[in-house]
Each structure stands twice: as structure tokens, then as C-alpha cells.
Amino acid sequence: MKDQSTKEVQKLDPQNLPSALSDIPGLIAGKKPAVFLDYDGCLSPIVKDPDAAVLTQEMRDTLQRLAKVCSVAVVSGRDRANVEKLVQLDNLYFAGSHGFDISGPGNMHTEPGGAKEALPALEEADKVLKEKLQDVEGAFVERKRYAIAVHYRNVAEAKVDRVKQVTEEVLQQYPQLKEGLGKKIIELKPNLNWHKGKAVLWLMEELGLNQPDVVPLYIGDDITDEDAFATLQGQGIGILVGEHDDKTAAEYRLEDVEDVQAFLETLTQTIKHQQQHN
């Protein structure tokens, strides 16, 4: 599967997308899927406290069943170790920090993308942000291995612009870093040509999934997932959960976490049915 970053990407209003639940056998067209999912907003509802975004046992069981019949990877902006701890399944692949840190079965652990060179800048920017935003009630500066997330979900509306301004000023001080946007989050990430879409391509190549009979599915809810939707357009299937503040490169939609679980359950049964008849 090739990186088609120069291709023209089609974007649509999320409201106009068909439901991914409407025809799952037709969606995968007899091919074997490889499933890639974001964590927050897809496997667990988005909550005010990131540590409270706990995976239900029902969703964990669903993922385990799916991983027995196809490759499954969680691709998250969270630290890889953090999302691994939340999911607690050893037959899945995990791409943390937007794909800069990847692990999986068979002692796989690699850090593609060259982010280590940005660690000193992240260390300094983290300290500056925490100092400058310490008096803004509700602001939360979360240091990850390869990113800093500035959360303003719990900040009073009148103070949000201050959080954004401070974050922008700090970004200007460190050219090694670039801005990433999410739902009520501004991220400072390594200023490198690497994102969730490239992580998916890397995993497809590494796992030998670049085959005509394999179709990658990517399920995500956030602006950061658009890189993966755009990367897979024409080569796989993007599924947006809910909606965000922009148009999307996804081709299908699911409403919420409950829809995601229903989709994964039906997908598992569809794959089993295909395997029995091949």
C-alpha cells in the first residue's frame, strides 16, 4: 500500500455519510479486513478526565473476538503504554503518540518517524506551558512521550482564548514542534512528516497486509484521524464516529461508541462466515 499524500482527497459533510452498519458484507466485498481504531471517542466515550476513559469489559471482549479473526490495531494520540494499559489485550497492535511509538505481539516495539530528536524541545515546552497556564482554572497540560496535549475542555469560555494564545506563543519558540488539533485539545507534536495515516501504512507493510485480498478499515472520531482517512481513501475504508467541526475524508459513519461495538461484533461474524465458506 502506497503513501498517496499528493493525491486529491475528497471531503464530505459527515451528515451525508451512509451508516457503516447498513451493509457490512458489502462494505468489505469478500476481502479480509485489517482494523485500525482510535481509542477515545471510538472504544470509550470522551470524558472530562482522560484517566476516566475506561474500556468496558464488553468492548474488550468484542476486540478480543475480532483480533482472533483479523489484525486489529489501536492508533491513538495517547502514549502507547497508557493505551495498552487501558485495553489490556496482548493480541492487538498499539500505535501511540499518533504512530510515533508502536508495539504488538511477538515482542514488536519500534519508534518509526524519527521523533526522538524532538524530545528536548518537548521537555522544555512542557515546563513553559505548565508555568504559563498554572493560573488558568481547568487548563491541563498533559505530557506524553512524543507530544504535549493542552486540554481546555474544563476551561471557562472567557479564558479559552488565553490558553490558545499561550500555546501558540510557545509553539513559535520551538520550530522542532508543530500544532495538532483535537476536540478541546491543542497538541504540540514533533515537526515531522508522520501521522496516524503513515503509521497505518507502516503497520500494513510490517504485517504483510499489503495484499489484494486485504482491505484496511480505519475507525476514528477526531480531526487527527483525518490523516488516516485521507491516506486510505481509494485503498481502504474510513469510518467517522460522530462528527467534528470540519468536513471529513471518511466514507462511512457510525453514531457513537455503542455503534462501534455493534459494527465490530457484526464484522467478526461476517469474517467467520466468509472463512467457513472459503
Region 72-81: what's the mean pLDDT? 95
Q: What is the structure's pLDDT at 112?
A: 86
Average pLDDT over residues 125-138: 96
In a domain, 18, yes or no: yes
Considering the entire predicted model, what is its pTM?
Answer: 0.86
- Catalytic residue, candidates 3, 13, 23, 38: 38
* 121 domain-assigned: no
| pLDDT score recorded for residue 113 | 80
Residue 123 confidence (pLDDT): 96
- If asked whether residues 203 and 186 sit together in one domain, one would say no
* Domain span holding position 63: 14-113+194-276
| 38 is known as an active-site residue | yes
Pick the last residue of a domain from 190, 214, 236.
190
Residue 262's pLDDT band, with cuts at 50, 70 and 90, is very high
Residue 240 lies in a domain: yes
Domain boundary among 190, 216, 242: 190
**Mean pLDDT estimate for the chain:** 93
Kindly state the average pLDDT of the residues 220-249. 93
pLDDT of residue 139: 96
Q: Are residues 157 and 32 in the same domain?
A: no
* Average pLDDT of span 202-211: 95
Look at the chain and report how many structural domains it folds into.
2
- CATH label of the domain that carries residue 233: 3.40.50.1000
- Residue 177 has a pLDDT of 96
Using the 3D structure, point to which of 141, 163, 190 is the last residue of a domain. Answer: 190
3-state secondary structure the chain: CCCCCCCCCCCECHHHCCECCCCHHHHHCCCEEEEEECCECCCECCCCCHHHCCCCHHHHHHHHHHHCCCCEEEECCCCHHHHHHHHCCCCCEEEEHHHCEEEECCCEEECCCCHHHHHHHHHHHHHHHHHHCCCCCCCEEEECCCCEEEECCCCCHHHHHHHHHHHHHHHHHCCCEEEEEECCEEEEEECCCCCHHHHHHHHHHHCCCCCCCEEEEEEECCHHHHHHHHHHECCEEEEEECCCCCCECCCEEECCHHHHHHHHHHHHHHHHHHHHCC
Q: Is 100 in the same domain as 206? A: yes
One domain for residues 88 and 226: yes
Question: So what's the pLDDT on residue 3?
Answer: 61
Say yes or no: 186 and 198 in one domain: no
